[in-house]
C-alpha cells in the first residue's frame, strides 16, 4: 500500500519512510523502464547438486542461477509451510534459522525477498493439498471452532516474519504471498472449499492480525490467482484494495499435456490472464507481477527465449519468479525450474536474461 503520511507537513519526510518503500519503488522503476526482475524459489537454500540444510555449508553463497549466469536472482523466494506448527524444518526440509539467514543475506546483498506459505490443513493434520477436511476456512475464522488453534499457528508465522531483521534491528521488507492460487481447487482454501466471503475474511483476518495486532510493517501483500477458468469471476475473491499491494499470476507451462500442445497453450493463456490482470491492477492502482511460473524439467531447449519471452512480452510485470530446483535424490532430475550447471537450457536462459530486459541482483543495486 502506498503509505499516506498525514503528518508529512509537520514531520520530516524521512520519518514517514516505511521499510517497504524502497522495494515498491524498485518494482515501480522496473515497470516504468520496461524491465522485469528475475526471482527463483529457494535459490540460496539448495540446488540441483547441493543442499545447505544438509551439507553443513551455511555460507549462503551458492546458487544454481549464479553458477550459470554469474549473478544471483534479484528476487529470492522462500517458504514457511510447517513453521506454523512450530517445526524447525519446513515442508521442503529448509531449516527455520537458515531460512531467516537467507532472507537477511539476500537483503543485505541488495536483493528483494518474497515468502510463500503452504500451511497444513488444520482439520486433518495433513498438508496444504489435503482437501478432505470440508470447509476448513469457515472453521478457522472468528466464531469457528478451530479459531483459537489457528491463531496460535498464525502467531508462530507472525513471530517468524517479525524476526527477519538486520543485525541493528531494522525489519527487512518482504513480499508476503499468503493464500495463493485460491482460484484453483487444490489447496484447502481453494475455490471449491470456501465461499468468496470466507476467502476474503480469511485474508483480512491474516492482515489485521499481522499488521494491526502484531504491528508488522515490513510486509508487502501480494495476491496470486491462477488458472484459466477464473478470469472473469476471480475479483470476487479479492479482499479489497486496502489489503493488497501486488496482483500476480501463478501459471505454469503444463507438463500434463503433450509438449506440442503445452507450449502454445501456455503462451496463449498466460497472455490472456496477464491481459486481464493488467487491467485489474491498473484500475486498482496495484503492481502487476508473474508471481510463479516455469516449466518443470525444462524439456524444451528454447523455453526461455521462445516460450516465456513470448508469454510475457509487453506486459508491465515488475517481476517473475520460477519455482525451485529440488536436490532430493530421485526427484531432482525432474523437479527443477531454473537452469543449473550441466543441465538443460543454460545458454538459452542467459540469452533470455540478456535480451529481454530481465534484471538480476547486480542490476537492481
Ligand atoms: C510445490 C512442489 C512441492 C513443494 C511445494 C512448496 O510446487 O515444489 O514439492 O513442497 O511446492 O514449496
Is the per-residue pLDDT at 192 higher than 50? Answer: yes
Q: Is 245 in the pocket of ligand 1 (CB under 6 A)?
A: no
Helices and strands per DSSP (H, E), number in the chain: 10, 11
Q: Does position 171 have pLDDT exceeding 50, yes or no?
A: yes
Closest Cα to atom 9 of ligand 1:
92
Residue 231 alpha carbon to ligand 1 centre in Å = 24
Lowest mean pLDDT among 13-17, 57-61, 193-197: 13-17
- Rounded Cα distance between 146 and 169, Å, is 34
Q: Is the CB of 324 under 6 A from ligand 1?
A: yes
What's the whole-number average pLDDT of the chain?
A: 95
Q: How far is CA 257 from CA 73, 92, 337, 365, in A?
A: 30, 26, 17, 40
Cα(312) to ligand 1 centroid in Å equals 24
Mean predicted confidence (pLDDT) in 181-208 = 97
pLDDT value, residue 10: 46
pLDDT beyond 90 at 141: yes
Query: Is pLDDT above 80 for 280?
Result: yes
Instruction: State what percent of residues in the chain have pLDDT above 90.
Output: 93
Report the separation in Å between the CA atom of 298 and the middle of ligand 1, taken as the mean of its atom positions.
Answer: 17
CB of 153 sitting under 6 A from ligand 1: no
Ligand 1 centroid distance, CA of 195 (Å): 25
Q: How far apart are CA 229 and CA 234, in angstroms?
A: 9
pLDDT digits (tens, 9 = 90+) for 118-127: 999 999 999 9
35-49 per-position pLDDT tens digit: 999 999 999 999 999
pLDDT category at 19 given cuts 50, 70, 90 is confident
With a 6 Å cutoff on the Cβ, whether 92 touches ligand 1 is yes
Residue 40 CB less than 6 A away from ligand 1: no
Best CA proximity match to 45, nearest among 35, 32, 37, 54: 54
Is residue 4's pLDDT more than 60?
no
- Rounded to an integer, the average pLDDT of 4-14 is 46
Q: Pick from 118, 126, 180 the residue to mutate for probing ligand 1's pocket: most ligand atoms within 8 Å of its CB.
A: 118
Substitution site in 90, 255, 324, 335 for ligand 1 pocket (most atoms within 8 Å of beta carbon)? 324
| Mean pLDDT within 77-96 | 98
pTM above 0.85, yes or no: yes
- The cell numbers describing 320, all together, are 517473475
User: For the segment 206-246, what is each residue's pLDDT rounded down to a tens digit?
Assistant: 999 999 999 999 999 999 999 777 778 899 999 999 999 99
Nearest ligand 1 atom to the CA of 42 is 12
Q: Which residues pair with 39 in a beta bridge?
A: 75, 321
Distance 305 CA to ligand 1 centre (A): 25
Look at strands 246-252 and 50-51 and give their pairing: unpaired
CB neighbours of residue 284 within 10 Å: 13
How far is C-alpha 35 from the chain's CA centre? 19
Q: Decide if 65 contacts 353 (C-beta within 8 A).
A: no
Amino acid at each position: 500500500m502506498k503509505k499516506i503520511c498525514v503528518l508529512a507537513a509537520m514531520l520530516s519526510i524521512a520519518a514517514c519512510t516505511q521499510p517497504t518503500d524502497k522495494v515498491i519503488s524498485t518494482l515501480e522503476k522496473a515497470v516504468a523502464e520496461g524491465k522485469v526482475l528475475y526471482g527463483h524459489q529457494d535459490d540460496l537454500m539448495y540446488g540441483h547438486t547441493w543442499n545447505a540444510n544438509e551439507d553443513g555449508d551455511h555460507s549462503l553463497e551458492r546458487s544454481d542461477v549464479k553458477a550459470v549466469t554469474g549473478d544471483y536472482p534479484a528476487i529470492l523466494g522462500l517458504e514457511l509451510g510447517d513453521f506454523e506448527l512450530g517445526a524447525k524444518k519446513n515442508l521442503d526440509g529448509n531449516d527455520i534459522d537458515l531460512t531467516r539467514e537467507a532472507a537477511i543475506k539476500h537483503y543485505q546483498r541488495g536483493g528483494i525477498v518474497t515468502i510463500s506459505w503452504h500451511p497444513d490443513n488444520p482439520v486433518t493434520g495433513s498438508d496444504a493439498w489435503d482437501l478432505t477436511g470440508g470447509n476448513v476456512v469457515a472453521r478457522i475464522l472468528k466464531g469457528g471452532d478451530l479459531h483459537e488453534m489457528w491463531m496460535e499457528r498464525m502467531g508462530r508465522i507472525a513471530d517468524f516474519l517479525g524476526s527477519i531483521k538486520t543485525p541493528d534491528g531494522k525489519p527487512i521488507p518482504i513480499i508476503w504471498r499468503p493464500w495463493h492460487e485460491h482460484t484453483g481447487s487444490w489447496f484447502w482454501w481453494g475455490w471449491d472449499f470456501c465461499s468468496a466471503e470466507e476467502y476474503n475474511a480469511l485474508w483480512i483476518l491474516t492482515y489485521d492480525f499481522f499488521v494491526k495486532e502484531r504491528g508488522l510493517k515490513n510486509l508487502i501483500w501480494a495476491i496470486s490467482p491462477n488458472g484459466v477458468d477464473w478470469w472473469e469471476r476471480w475479483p470476487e475473491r479479492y479482499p479489497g484494495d486496502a489489503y493488497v499491494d501486488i496482483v500476480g499470476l501463478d501459471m505454469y507451462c503444463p507438463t500434463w499435456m503433450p509438449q506440442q500442445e503445452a507450449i502454445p497453450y501456455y503462451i496463449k493463456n498466460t497472455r490472456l490472464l496477464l491481459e486481464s490482470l493488467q487491467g485489474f491492477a491498473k484500475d486498482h492502482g496495484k503492481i502487476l507481477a508473474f508471481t510463479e511460473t516455469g516449466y518443470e524439467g525444462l524439456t524444451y531447449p528454447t523455453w526461455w527465449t521462445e516460450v516465456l519471452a513470448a508469454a510475457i512480452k509487453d506486459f508491465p510485470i515488475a517481476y517473475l519468479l520460477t519455482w525451485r530446483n529440488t536436490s532430493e535424490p530421485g526427484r531432482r532430475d525432474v523437479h527443477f525450474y531454473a537452469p543449473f550447471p550441466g543441465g538443460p537450457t543454460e545458454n538459452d536462459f542467459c540469452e533470455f536474461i540478456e535480451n529481454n530486459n530481465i534484471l538480476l541482483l547486480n542490476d537492481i543495486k
